[in-house]
Amino acid sequence: MRQITGLSNPTVKYLRSLRDKKHRRREQRFMAEGLRLLTDARETGHLPEILAMAEGRERHPLLDELVAATEAAGGDVIEVSQDALTKITGKDNPQAVCGVFAELDTALTRISRDGAPLVLVAQAMRDPGNLGTMLRTADAVGAGGLVLIDDCADPFSVEAVRASMGAIFTVPLAQARWEEFRKWLREGPGQLVAASLRDPHDYRDAPYAAPCFVMVGNESRGLPEEYEAECDLRVTIPMLGRADSLNASIAGAVLAYEVLAKLR
């Protein structure tokens, strides 16, 4: 295990650079933090290329297993100072461990229509926390994946990965433009359902059919009208208070559980 204390060390600078989207794209690598998240990654067959741990950390059997698996796979295990880990993660109280992973394949072919009755779709979702929450929801409902349409937040940002609580490693993830997704969807079975206010069904009484692709739109604008026109079904969630809408990721979760209940 290499020990690194200097803040100007090239490895520290490299790890720090992965907080920026342009560097992640150039390197095709991303960073994940926390023993629980990295353990989830290991259990699903994903090991870090670089594993960085804080000096003076407490021993933990899961961390020992992670170190052994990373070294056995040829990964680089390093120990860094607390100041260096703060610089790497950008957090004053960082997790005791973080890892660098190769970016995952996000082709539409990762999504299987036969794998589950439900797939989540997000269009132009800009908040990385919402995106990570959608991944977590997809994992919770056993969805066949999450498809990101158009200009969504980077799913490999530190914020999105953290919010996913490990689902970035367990849920098939795809990225596509609308035209590409629409063409792919119509080449096989699949009901496209939009969260909408335009002539919708009540979400509790809608005629869902598997495989069901549940699509939510941008946090502030919702779905474009022409996208909704292409959907097989439009549904709405009644608002019983003063709020006129739910958070986009929350709406996706409510719809996902309703669809799952109807299709079981």
The token pair at 220 is 């502030």
Band (4; pLDDT cuts 50, 70, 90):
confident
Whether residue 238 sits in one domain with residue 197: yes
Whether residue 135 sits in one domain with residue 7: no
Mean predicted lDDT score pLDDT of the chain: 92
Whether residue 72 sits in one domain with residue 185: no
Beta bridge partners, 77, equal 51
The pLDDT tens digits of the residues spanning 84-110 come to 888 888 777 777 899 999 999 999 999
60-68 contacts, C-beta under 8 A, 24 or more apart: 60/35, 62/35, 63/35, 63/96, 63/97, 65/39, 66/35, 66/38, 66/39, 66/42, 66/97, 67/1
Region 160-185: what's the mean pLDDT? 96
What pLDDT sits at residue 124? 96
Region 181-187: what's the mean pLDDT? 97
What pLDDT sits at residue 198? 81
Q: Are residues 67 and 95 in contact, defined by beta-carbon separation less than 8 angstroms?
A: no
Percentage of the chain surpassing pLDDT 90?
75
Whether residue 119 sits in one domain with residue 76: no
- Domain final residue, candidates 102, 135, 165: 102
Among 157, 107, 160, CA closest to 136: 160
CA distance 227 to 204: 22
Over 90: is that where the pLDDT of 139 sits?
yes
What pLDDT sits at residue 207? 96
CATH number at residue 39: 3.30.1330.30
Over 80: is that where the pLDDT of 11 sits?
yes
Q: Which has more confidence, 54 or 45?
A: 45
Whether residue 244 sits in one domain with residue 128: yes
Q: Are residues 215 and 194 in contact, defined by beta-carbon separation less than 8 angstroms?
A: yes
Pairing between β-strand 97-102 and β-strand 50-54 as defined by DSSP bridges: antiparallel
The region of weakest confidence among 10-24, 60-74, 79-93, 94-108 is 79-93
CA distance 207 to 246: 22
- Domain final residue, candidates 45, 68, 102: 102
Whether residue 122 sits in one domain with residue 94: no
- Domain final residue, candidates 102, 136, 159: 102
Whether residue 250 sits in one domain with residue 123: yes
Whether residue 86 sits in one domain with residue 36: yes
What are the CA-CA distances from residue 59 to residues 2, 41, 77, 81, 247 (Å)? 17, 20, 15, 16, 39
The pLDDT tens digits of the residues spanning 140-160 come to 999 999 999 999 999 999 999
Percent helix, strand and coil across the chain, each to the nearest 5:
40, 20, 40
The token pair at 192 is 């496209």
What pLDDT sits at residue 229? 94
Phi, then psi, of 69 in degrees rounded to 5: -65, -40
Q: Which has more confidence, 42 or 247?
A: 42
Whether residue 170 sits in one domain with residue 153: yes
Domain containing 239 equals: 108-263
The pLDDT tens digits of the residues spanning 20-50 come to 999 999 999 999 999 999 999 999 999 999 9
What pLDDT sits at residue 204? 94
User: What total of structural domains would you count in the chain?
Assistant: 2
Region 117-133: what's the mean pLDDT? 96
Whether residue 132 sits in one domain with residue 245: yes
Whether residue 223 sits in one domain with residue 153: yes
Whether residue 161 sits in one domain with residue 72: no
CATH number at residue 242: 3.40.1280.10
Name the region of 246 (left: φ>0; alpha: ψ -120 to 50; beta: rest): beta
